[in-house]
Chain A
Amino acid sequence: MKHICRFVLTVMFVTYPVILWAQAFDEPDAAVHTSPGVVHSDAGLMGFPQPLSLSDIDGQRETPAIIVAQAIAGEEIPARELATHAGKEAPEEGEEEVPLIADPIAPFNKAMYHVNDKLYFWLLKPVTQVYSHTVPEPFRVVFNNAFDNLWAPSRIVNNLLQLRFKAAGNEFIRFIFNTIAGIGGLGDVAAPALGIKKQEADFGQTLGHYGIGHGFYLVLPVFGPSSVRDGVGLAADRFMYPLSYISTSDLTFGEAAGIYAGEKVNDTSFHIGEYESFKDSAIDPYVGMRDAFVQYRQKKVEDSKK
């Protein structure tokens, strides 16, 4: 018990000041530790708050002066934003760049797409509906935090591999803080308390960060749209999943599958209706999903380079 106290105190009084100091160098769009009441303000220059919320009672808004000030002061963001969009922006008609992916095994992928489709409607959705009627949302949010916390080691390692040391450090702090103060990760207390947001990172993104392309599109049964690169990424991330190592022997396949199923059902309980809506709005859902996957992953890789 004494050791735990000492450990927690060290974390709070050594690493917290280090984080404060690090925030000065941090990108302005990272969350800044504001007063407890203000949870979602976007930090501007040097913590200059730019709160803009529909539910903001003051109705405070980002004035044009601040936007221009950002640009004039040579702040990174506008330039970076413009650079990122240069590839995607189409001032002229029909010249917009569209990320593409090869799909040489399309028949297999389409079959897998249909398998996953049926799995969703026949298995995942009914189970999730029962689950979300049985378990109240606050509990599901708590479980979501706990599951999410378990992916922290993977995020830490991948942030390090991408040489995003601040992000890795942040994730490390989050992991320790949430595991201890958040009681095993049940609460994401790092966000409101320390103002540190989750820094997503996965191995597929890491590979993309270093210029490795997708290879080709690959729809995995159960796991969904992926690619050669991201499939490898999934497997690699699984190795960094802590629950694989808690018992003296590794988890049996059944146990691991059970945990994955639990995580999947809990997560889906927050997203019921989205897949149906996507299918409804698509002319060709298979192509739509493939394209959405490619765009989404490209954004992730772009984000990792910021």
Chain B
Amino acid sequence: MSLQEDAMKKSLIGIALFLCVIIPLPVFAGVPLDTVKTHVDKVLEVLRDPSLKAESSKKLKKDKICAIAEKMFDFTELSKRTLAQHWSKFTPEQQKEFTSLYKSLLENTYADKILLYTDEKILFTKEVPLTEKTAEVQTMVVRSTQETPIYYRVILKDGTWMVYDVIVEGISIINNYRSQFREILVNNPPEYLLETLRKKVGKA
């Protein structure tokens, strides 16, 4: 790239910015990121709350975080995408139970991981639209020895942006659980998976 192209780029930016002022912006530019940020901010508030620092408050902290996760994640979407083609093998009742068990599992997982947090910096770096109704909010967790990229994939449902996948260093939760469930469902009926989940969640 030459300096001329540099200059051209700069003027393009200038024009683009000017245009943005007079042309209405795409409907959801910024909103997904804001939405995710609001939720994460709430979680961080709970984590940083000095009155909840004690070991005894751990359960209370976890409950609060689960409450926030409830509003942040679209568990039905998550469940459908995780089971993929196996979703239709479940009866509506089983689907409901699966969604509820999966939700408990994920909430516990998320809460446990979040509770490992000790004051790292979280940067919201970018928002990338994927399709008309989905976007990816990119964040970075900065620790003393490494930076971990965490991307939230959100979907627009009934006017709200909700998270349907979390990708940590390239590892997507949906994909990860899907491969685990697939391994089970290939050789076993849906009821077997439900039983496994019941035991797992019951323990947690």
A: which residues have CB within 8 A of B?
24-25, 40, 42, 45-46, 48, 50, 52-55, 61-69, 72-74, 77-78, 81-82, 85, 88-91, 93-96, 98-99, 137, 141, 144, 267, 270, 273-274, 277, 280-284, 287-288, 290-292, 295-296, 298-300, 302
Is B170 a contact of A300 with CB atoms below 8 Å? yes
Is B179 a contact of A98 with CB atoms below 8 Å? yes
- Majority DSSP secondary structure for residues of B touching A: helix
Name the A residues within 8 Å of B176 (CB-CB). 288, 291-292, 295
Is B81 a contact of A90 with CB atoms below 8 Å? yes
* CA–CA, A304 and B143, complex, Å: 23
New contact pairs (13) apart from A68-B29, A267-B145, CB-CB < 8 Å: A42-B126, A45-B13, A50-B125, A53-B121, A53-B124, A54-B122, A73-B9, A78-B129, A96-B84, A281-B113, A283-B180, A284-B183, A296-B171
Say if the beta carbon of B204 comes within 8 Å of chain A: yes
Interface size on B, residues (CB 8 A): 69
Name the B residues within 8 Å of A82 (CB-CB). 128, 130
**Can you name the residue of chain A whose Cβ is closest to the Cβ of B122?**
A54
Say if the beta carbon of B178 comes within 8 Å of chain A: yes
- Could you list 14 A-B pairs, sorted by A, with CB under 8 Å? A46-B6, A46-B10, A53-B124, A64-B29, A65-B20, A69-B20, A72-B12, A81-B136, A96-B175, A98-B175, A98-B179, A280-B112, A287-B180, A302-B170
From A40, A64, A81, A90, B30 is in contact (CB under 8 Å) with A64
Name the B residues within 8 Å of A45 (CB-CB). 9, 13
Residues B109-144 near A (CB distance < 8 A): 109, 112-113, 116, 121-131, 133-134, 136, 140, 142-144
From B12, B105, B204, A73 is in contact (CB under 8 Å) with B12
Is A295 a contact of B13 with CB atoms below 8 Å? no
Task: Write the nearest CB–CB distance from A32 to chain B, whole angstroms.
Answer: 13
**Can you name the residue of chain B whose Cβ is closest to the Cβ of A52?**
B124
A40 in contact with B128 given A52-B123, A299-B169 (CB within 8 Å): no
Is B171 a contact of A292 with CB atoms below 8 Å? yes
Name the A residues within 8 Å of B108 (CB-CB). 280-281
Is A270 a contact of B145 with CB atoms below 8 Å? yes
Is B116 a contact of A55 with CB atoms below 8 Å? no
